Chain A
Amino acid sequence: MKIFQESNSCIECSSAVAAPISRRAFLRRAAILSASGIVLLSPHAWAARSVDSSSKRRLIVVFLRGAVDGLNVVVPHGESAYYDARPTIAIGRMGAGDGVIDLDGHFGLHPALAPMERQWRDGTLAFVHACGSPDPTRSHFDAQDFMESGTPGVRTTQDGWLNRTLAAIPGTHGPTEALSLGPTVPRILSGKVPVANIALGRAAEKPMPMDRPVIEAAFDKMYVGNDSISRAYRDGRQARMRLISELTQDMTEANAGAPSPQGFSDDTDRLARLIGRDPTIRVAFMALGGWDTHVSEGAASGQLAGHLKPLGEGLASLAKSLGPNYQDTVILVISEFGRTMHENGNGGTDHGHGNVMWVMGGPVKGGKVYGEWPGLSTASLYQERDLAVTTDFREPIATVLRSHMQFSEAQIDRVLPGRPRSSRNVDGLVRV
């Protein structure tokens, strides 16, 4: 027998090579196949899965890598200690030219986040202040790792809590239930449930060779088995087809294809469009960097402001472009730890402890800063230098899982083993 017995006409080129060589041995290695066992891409369970109202509820996590300075995001403008500690980088009091946008008389929003004022006013944006990890590490790497594994202090956890969130939902999981925007699947999404990911920016709509029908068709014939590799292949094909068709469909529609001037808004708009077209997306994740402001942090303008502005615009745009889906979506914005209360000698801040978590979405009971404010006096600071943590970051997550995702306590335990039993600081954060 010969492996290449005859030349086939090539769809893409005119060249054809007849190249007979002898076949020495063909072994059945990967899968035992019979003619009747060959099933070509029958619709997988995910497509057939019914979409009831509870399964439309979804969670988006935005990770600010590098530790955003929470005290300059949600500013305790009611405390003079804040202004004493930050002579050059404090955000001005309300009423001042570039002052804070007052939230509740005590806290105010960084002026660069003005686009999000609307969500605050309409009650779908909340903050949890003095929130963070119980682990004392000031290492970005450890702290991010712990916040993504959901098990602070435990290094051996293999998977991420966002993947476990899906895994805790019974039934089979389709290829686009978990979506990661970015080139790799991050720690928070690693785990058993398949994760689709698309590149950021314009690259997301960039075709890959696998998108070409002739190439797909050729590979389809090889991945017909019931082994794990073949199943992964078929899941990948369906996810890719789905994502690409949603995105290209958008691109051909008038106006929708115009890229936004801001990169992040571009990505959040893309995410909103995908969610609009694919109700099976349950969790999504994206990360933004550039928050490690050791030097020249700036105040109302400057480095931090320059990063907050596109973030705020992107999130406001996400709320808008989600349309009716905003009512079923909770968006968490988290960061590994906060920064020092006092500005340092370089007009920046160093690694700290407590931070602020942002919680946005239709189900959120917003317009409120949650948490237990520990104050900024030296005695109340963590190790006399950082905002203390009075709310474990897992408490708001557990609340979102319970009230929004409608998880039982047992399901929440699978997502966040070892979590604090109480979440009284964030009671009522999300509507049941």
Chain B
Amino acid sequence: MALEVSKQDRILHVLNRLAFGPRPGDFEHVSAIGPERYVREQLHPESIAIPSDLSERVNELRTLHMSPIALFIEYQRPLKMARKDAKAEDGGDKASIKDATKDLRVKQRVVMREAVEARMMRAIEGPRQLQEVMTAFWFNHFNVFAGKGLDLIWTGSFEETAIRPHTFGKFRTLLGATAHHPAMMFYLDNWQNTAPGSPGSKGKFEGINENYARELMELHTLGVNGGYSQADVIALAHILTGWGLPKQGGGNPMRRGEGMAGGETGGVFPFMRRRRNFMPAAVDPSGFYFDESRHDFSSKTLLGHRIEGGGIDEGEHALDILARSPATAKHLSFKLAQYFVADDPPKALVERMAQRYLATDGETRAVLETMFTSAEFWDPRYYGAKFKTPYEYVVSCVRATGVPVRNYRPLYGTMQILGMPLYGCQTPNGYANTQDAWLNPDAMMTRLSFATALGSGNLPLENPPFEEDADGGGEMRPEPPVIPRNGVGKVNIKFDPGPHGPKMTPPDPVQLAATLGDYFSPATASAVEAAPTQLRAPLILGSPEFMKR
């Protein structure tokens, strides 16, 4: 009996930590092959087949597979031109510009919707769960904010091409991919980072911008106490001068630009201003461009290393130094252990993970393996010790019910109400994953209301994907002044499905209990037993133990 209980604990533990909780059938699967083999499977996602239905639906998300330049041409340039035309015709009246560009802005929303759908459908249905957990983890580590200008159309591409393919490999590769993606260059302003006095220094491009250099060390690699100084920040900023977005095709330095995505994002692709069908020949579809004319070619000293002036290679050299630093090894190991083990992770484990990182030249899979085979990871005191973030709570609820989702809007809206809109974290440090950050009274009411709506079949999840509409749907107030700070798509959750009736099959509480291993505290079990049938699934999803992983 003791053995059996212990095995159940371990099964649930791996499903809670390496996956976003159990889907119907998962408990039996892990029970059959054993938790240890499940870990090995998940560490090698290429060995797990993806159901054809899921891959087809992911493939159908057209914008997910477009390059940043293609996205710009299709979704941003027409908007730009329409704004310009409306301005010329109506004298720049904001309302008329808004009116003239309404359809294009609505059209543009498909990019963010498809990014959200891709993330959610893979997290909910995908069998390569650790891949999904790590994609979310690394995206959050290298957070970009979709509400900032061009990142509205580039965030999906950033995750798909810079994060997802590199989740288990060398950290240096992942780091390089993020540094070469225009979403990051734009988000942390490095596209404007310019050597003062360089030939290309002009207008908005005439000085050092430290933003990316600082976050690259503070957040992405060394950590805030990683031993760098303000002089290192400045040196790294100089090293990264000229890293950014494509300039005008004719080879001229970027001219004073006009805003592409709002008042402060001028100067991107100014070639668009001249002729609307003009395309420079040499633009890399990746959207990354190194502008030599704005680079500081002098030699620099970074963290005690001399870096000879040499153009873009200096930046690559700097990324090598940062990726190999013991401070980076420790910083990343701490974050991984905090995510996978406990809010306050055991120091000895973090140290061993950091050693493995250094010994393998920063291979994420090896570091994860060290963690997943550690005594600390399997210490029962940590089972169920992590309070789920809103993302984890919503995804795990839907997984547990097994409901087929075609409309992700209520899920996105719930995360937004709970303060964790997907791709909506404004700050570069990403969302926290600790209990301190997410447990509060109001959040509990919202979680339980969501659990009730989902558990009683009252969320319109099975509707076909929603159409974008101009006011963002929902019952938001019609006009400013109130604008949410994280203004990514105003989506309202509706717990009441409205006059058209529920759009999902209510989950069967018996099936739901079985999916979760029939594994509840006495208080939960007796409350579920005492409840009306219709409330049993809500109670299971809203139980204290299901708040944790």
Which residues from chain A sit less than 8 Å from chain B, CB to CB?
Answer: 3-5, 7-13, 15-17, 19, 21-31, 33, 65-66, 139, 141, 144-145, 155-156, 175, 182-186, 194-197, 200-203, 206, 208-210, 214-215, 218-219, 221-225, 227-230, 232-233, 235-237, 239-240, 263-264, 267, 287-290, 292, 294-296, 303, 307, 310-311, 346-348, 350-351
Contact = CB atoms under 8 A, between A and B. Distances in A.
A312 to B, nearest CB: 11
B519 A4 contact: no
A311 B94 contact: no
Given A25-B4, A156-B224, A200-B477, A296 B94 contact: yes
A27 to B, nearest CB: 7
Contact of A23 (B416, B448, B518, B530): B518
Nearest to A220: B527
B42 interface: no
B440 A185 contact: yes
Interface stretch (B14-22, B117-125, B481-489): B481-489
A348 B211 CA distance: 26
- Interface residues of B toward A: which range? 35 or more
Nearest to B543: A222
Given A215-B452, A221-B530, A295-B92, A29 B521 contact: yes
A33 B522 contact: yes
A5 to B, nearest CB: 6
A68 to B, nearest CB: 11
Nearest to A292: B263
Given A31-B521, A155-B218, A222-B542, 9 more contacts: A12-B534, A26-B521, A27-B9, A30-B544, A31-B544, A240-B445, A263-B478, A290-B483, A350-B264
Nearest to A141: B426
Nearest to A19: B510
B532 A8 contact: yes
B284 interface: no
Interface string B528-549: 1111111110110011110110
Contacts of B224: 156
Contacts of A209: 448-449, 452-453, 456, 458, 495, 538
Contacts of B495: 208-209
Interface of B: 4-5, 8-9, 92-94, 211, 218, 224, 259, 262-264, 384, 387, 416-419, 426-427, 429, 435, 439-446, 448-449, 452-453, 456, 458, 475-487, 492, 495, 509-510, 513-514, 517-536, 538-539, 542-545, 547-548
Contacts of B476: 201
Given A30-B544, A295-B263, A232 B519 contact: no
Nearest to B522: A26
A347 B545 CA distance: 57
Given A4-B529, A264-B481, A28 B522 contact: yes
B92 A194 contact: no
Contacts of B513: 3, 21
Given A4-B528, A183-B484, A232-B444, A24 B518 contact: yes
B401 to A, nearest CB: 16
25 contacts: A3-B513, A3-B518, A3-B528, A8-B530, A8-B532, A16-B533, A17-B533, A27-B519, A30-B521, A30-B548, A31-B544, A182-B484, A185-B419, A185-B442, A209-B449, A209-B452, A209-B495, A215-B448, A221-B523, A221-B526, A224-B523, A227-B544, A229-B387, A232-B443, A288-B480
Contact of A294 (B259, B426, B479, B538): B259
Contact of B545 (A9, A22, A29, A206): A29
A206 B387 CA distance: 28
Contacts, number: 249
A183 B416 contact: yes
A307 B480 contact: yes
Given A29-B521, A210-B452, A228-B435, A263 B542 contact: no
Contacts of A287: 482, 485
A294 B532 contact: no
Given A156-B224, A290-B483, A236 B539 contact: no
A65 B523 contact: no
A25 B441 contact: no
Contacts of B520: 3, 26
B193 to A, nearest CB: 14
Contact of B514 (A8, A21, A230, A240): A21
Contacts of B439: 228-229, 232
A15 B533 CA distance: 8
For A13, A26, A230, which residue has the most chain B Cβ atoms within 10 angstroms? A26
